[in-house]
Structure 1
Amino acid sequence: MEEVMLSALQHFVFCPRQCALIHVEQVWAENEFTARGQQHHDRAHGGGTEERGGVRTLRALPLVSRQHGLAGVGDVVELLPDGSPRPVEYKSGRARPRLADEVQLCAQALCLEEMFGVSIPEGFIYHAASHKRRVVAFTPALRQAVLDARDGVRDLLRRQTLPPPAADDRCLHCSLLESCEPFAAREFPRGFDPFSTTLEDP
Structure 2
Amino acid sequence: MFILKSTSPRRIQILTDLGFLFLVEPANIDESQKYKEPSLEYLERMVHSKLGNDGNPNHLYLAADTIVVFQNEILHKPVDLEDSVRILKTLSGKKHSVFSGGGLQTGSTVDFFYEETIIEFKNWSEVEIRDYILRCQPFDKAGSYGIQDENGPVAARFGSYTNVMGFPLRSFLARSSVWLPFWEKSFTRKD
TM-score by length of 1: 0.27
TM-score computed with the length of structure 2 as normaliser: 0.28
